[in-house]
Amino acid sequence: MKKIIKPLCLAAPLLLAVPSSYATDDWRFETQLTSYSVSELVPIKSLMDDTWIGKYQPTNSLFTTSRGDMAIGKGKWLIGVSNRFDYFGRFSEDTGRFFYLDKNKIDQPENTDLDIYLNVEHAESHGAFVQYNDVYKSLEYSVRVNYWHSEKTLSGIIDGKLNTNVDENYTGELNFDYNYEEDTLFDRLTPDYVDGSGYSLDIDLFWQINDKFDASLSLKDVAHRIEWKEVYHTKATIDRTKDKDASEPSLSGIENNHDYKQRFKQQSYLQVGYKTDYGRVYGGTDHINTHHHAYVGFEREVFVSGLKATVSFYPDTSSVKLGLGNDLIGFNVGLNKSKFRNTNTLMLDMYFKY
């Protein structure tokens, strides 16, 4: 759990409309940073600092997914390089509460049965991509193929039953099955370099239905997988029964290296808009890590033609996102608390095109 969220991981749906500059044959430069993080368990900053300080909230998931791109383009084509950080965690409420109490040195409730479950997919990757953009009638679309190379991973499951007996003499059985480049559970020595490579597909659609209605859909990480060669792997069971001394749990299992295919779930961002005399109203949903985050918002031109300000509200996380930008430069940021150290949701999207 120490590596849940180390870097600053933020968030926001990507801008879906393809800018008009794609219609020209001029060379152009583009850069973009997008990041999306949600941790209802404890504030994001306390996870980054590995302190777990803050108000505990029952939940069963957290995630952060971030990308930084630099690219050059000409006409309908774009080619570039990208770096990304991903951490997707799903867990039982008992597991989240157990780690929170342990990190804050708070006594666990005595003689309580706990359902332990933790499923983690994490990787830090870099690579290259090729993107094609075009327009068919009122439909603008782009297709992007990504190649990823990674040297850091944590992928696997912990599950089982635990009873918090008196004086932390816990009993029960826990099963571990995980792949890694560095062992943070059993401290296995991992001196050799490991790496993996893989691909993913991104598809963006923007449909101007008529002069009032529009719809957009962004599918990220379609068929995203990384194939690891000789990655470190541990499969083990820890068992302690009530008639054994607390210092004598039984441990069995294997430690080996093997080829492993790591898979990440697809992300999807859907939005529908309607233009009024006062501005554009919209609503949509972000689907990440098996959760839907719905939102509503309003967009209006400000100051000069083409410059648009947006405000969005996410009811499930009580988050507000503000944005300002045009086809060439923009900045969007969203939080659910006024102070960064207290926020559980952080969204960021910055882009520049020349």
Mean pLDDT of 185-210: 93
Q: Say if residue 34's pLDDT is above 60.
A: yes
Give the whole-angstrom CA distance, residue 311 versus residue 319.
Answer: 11
> Looking at residue 129, what is its pLDDT?
98
Q: What are the backbone angles phi and psi of residue 185, rounded to the nearest 5°?
A: -105, -55
Give the whole-angstrom CA distance, residue 99 versus residue 97.
Answer: 6
Count Cβ atoms below 10 Å from residue 165 Cβ, excluding itself.
17
**pLDDT tens digits along 173-194:** 999 999 999 998 888 998 888 9
Give the whole-angstrom CA distance, residue 312 versus residue 331.
Answer: 14
Q: Say if residue 11's pLDDT is above 80.
A: no
> Looking at residue 219, what is its pLDDT?
97
**pLDDT tens digits along 40-64:** 899 999 888 888 888 888 899 999 9
Q: Say if residue 250's pLDDT is above 90.
A: no
How far lies 10's CA from each of 62, 76, 85, 206, 220, in Å? Answer: 12, 30, 11, 25, 17
Q: Say if residue 120's pLDDT is above 70.
A: yes
> Looking at residue 202, what is its pLDDT?
98
Higher pLDDT, 14 or 164: 164
> Looking at residue 178, what is its pLDDT?
96
Nearest in space to 196 (alpha carbons), one of 126, 129, 130, 266: 126
Give the whole-angstrom CA distance, residue 57 versus residue 5.
Answer: 17
> Looking at residue 7, what is its pLDDT?
34
> Looking at residue 243, what is its pLDDT?
57
How far lies 293's CA from each of 36, 253, 316, in Å? Answer: 11, 40, 7
Q: What percent of the chain has pLDDT over 70?
A: 90
pLDDT band at 340 (very low <50, low <70, confident <90, very high): confident
**pLDDT tens digits along 271-315:** 999 999 999 999 999 999 888 999 999 999 998 888 999 999 999
> Looking at residue 247, what is its pLDDT?
55
Mean pLDDT of 79-105: 94
